[in-house]
Structure 1
Amino acid sequence: MRLHVADHPLIDHKLSVLRDEKTPSAVFRQLVDELVTLLAYEATRDVRTEKIRIQTPVAATTGRHLAEPRPIVVPILRAGLGMLEGMTRLLPTAEVGFLGMKRNEDTLEVETYANRLPDDLSGRQCFVVDPMLATGHTLVAAINYLLERGARDVTAICLIAAPEGLATLEAAVGDRADVTVVTAARDERLNEHAYIVPGLGDAGDRLYGIVD
């Protein structure tokens, strides 16, 4: 597993505003969208392309376009929806699949309540988007879904990540697939409630409000 912590002053600035508890939901949503676009630029450095011949107004030349099969973007509901537009802005031809997952706050285990993915992901580059990599259990479950369908090239884009979650993911993936994590920050630790410290709170609640 590879970890890439994006290093850019605009990323640092936007993340600092996201962390601030006084930032309202409307601003939080806008900044998540902007931050994801910056992270997506880093995450797609190795997206597969192929050569094509094109005609400019001046001459014929060789260019490149995204290779087939198209990449797929998989937001983890519900918080991952806030990151979807930022990803598809850079990858407008990508397909979109959905995974609905939530953490049981008592057992900390992952529960899956929705799954909308192609049956065959062989040869597809998969981009999983989820704001928080905390315990790592949700991301492990999501990547397992992709691997069961034949995916072998998976990039996870997270706003922040905890060292415990990164270790859990690395141990779970092993050498089964080529997995990369792209994040804006590797935070300090998890607290006793499995929240990231210093973190930014519950990303879903801050994006969309509290839903019981």
Structure 2
Amino acid sequence: MTQHLTIVDHPLVQHKLTLMREKETSTAVFRQLLREISQLLAYEVTRELPMTPREIETPLQKMDAPVLAGRKLALISILRAGNGLLDGMLELIPSARVGFVGLYRDEETLQPVKYYFKVPENLAERLVIVVDPMLATGNSSAAAVQMLKDAGATNIRFLCLLAAPEGVARMKEAHPDVPVVTASLDERLNEKGYILPGLGDAGDRMFGTR
């Protein structure tokens, strides 16, 4: 991936995103839509995975067929809302290694505070895909990516459902080498750092909390 921001405008992605935005959408439906849309986004973020030929035998003959090359990729969820994207992607890529970064946002400073970090080994040899539904201020996302770089990761992509211009700019400033893939670039952030028009708090809507 060469461009910093990719917006996945596939009709199925946009349709499901509209249903997720609606405030009347139930927790169960929201959760199911998130799982479905994550698989569609996963197709885009993994589009350029390296391949290598392997000899196999079909019912009719032998052939050289393409398979994924290198170490299993790593999916890194930014807790807790990232788990909604993670679950759907694991159905598509069940062999992926999984890690978790726990960050919460200080509501006064809007700065990220780390409380958990557990990631797979050999990150330097893996494609690392960081997942979090919302790229809002970009502070938590940039901090999580920096932690992964400090742990050895060199090939990182960031996958989110919604992005704000402020978050995209923050990520580009902090990590110009990390492509961002999203379903929508929304208008702006409000005074509390929430994306507008957005869909509310993704974690609360996914888990039925407030």
- Shorter-chain TM range is over 0.9
- State the match for 1:29 in structure 2: 31
- State the match for 1:92 in structure 2: 94
- How many angstroms does 1:91 deviate by? 1.2
- How many angstroms does 1:77 deviate by? 0.7
- State the match for 2:53 in structure 1: 51
Q: Does structure 1 retain, via aligned residues, the 8 Å contact 2:35–2:88?
A: yes
Backbone CA RMSD of aligned residues: 1.2
What are the equivalent positions in structure 2 for 1:177-196 lying under 5 Å apart?
178-196=177-195
- State the match for 1:200 in structure 2: 199
Q: Does structure 1 retain, via aligned residues, the 8 Å contact 2:124–2:155?
A: no
Structure 1 counterpart SS, 2:178: strand
- State the match for 1:14 in structure 2: 16
**Equivalent in 80, 83, 87 of residue 82 of structure 2:** 80
Counterpart of 1:202, as a letter, is D
- How many angstroms does 1:90 deviate by? 1.8
Cα deviation per residue 1:143-177 (whole Å; 9 max; x = unaligned)? Answer: 11111122111111100000000000000014xxx
Structure 2 counterpart SS, 1:122: helix
- How many angstroms does 1:93 deviate by? 1.1
- How many angstroms does 1:119 deviate by? 4.8
Cα deviation per residue 1:155-208 (whole Å; 9 max; x = unaligned)? Answer: 11100000000000000014xxx4111110000011111110100000000011
TM superposition score normalised by structure 2: 0.95
Structure 2 counterpart SS, 1:107: coil
Structure 1 counterpart SS, 2:179: strand
- State the match for 2:70 in structure 1: 68
Distance in 1, matches of 2:208 and 2:22, equals 16
- State the match for 1:146 in structure 2: 148
- How many angstroms does 1:68 deviate by? 2.1
Distance in 1, matches of 2:154 and 2:91, equals 24
- State the match for 1:4 in structure 2: 6
- How many angstroms does 1:48 deviate by? 2.0
Q: Mind listing any 5+ residue stretches in structure 1 that lack a counterpart?
A: none
- How many angstroms does 1:37 deviate by? 0.6
Q: Mind listing any 5+ residue stretches in structure 2 that lack a counterpart?
A: none
Structure 2 counterpart SS, 1:182: strand
Distance in 2, matches of 1:64 and 1:81, equals 30
- State the match for 1:107 in structure 2: 109
- State the match for 1:129 in structure 2: 131
- How many angstroms does 1:127 deviate by? 0.7
Counterpart of 2:168, as a letter, is L
Runs of 4+ in 1 over 4 A off after TM superposition: none
Distance in 2, matches of 1:180 and 1:90, equals 21
Distance in 1, matches of 2:120 and 2:90, equals 18
Counterpart of 1:34, as a letter, is E
Structure 2 counterpart SS, 1:39: helix
Structure 1 counterpart SS, 2:55: strand
Q: Does structure 1 retain, via aligned residues, the 8 Å contact 2:56–2:65?
A: yes
Structure 1 counterpart SS, 2:90: helix
Q: Does structure 1 retain, via aligned residues, the 8 Å contact 2:74–2:120?
A: no
Structure 2 counterpart SS, 1:118: coil
Identity of counterpart residues, as a percentage? 48
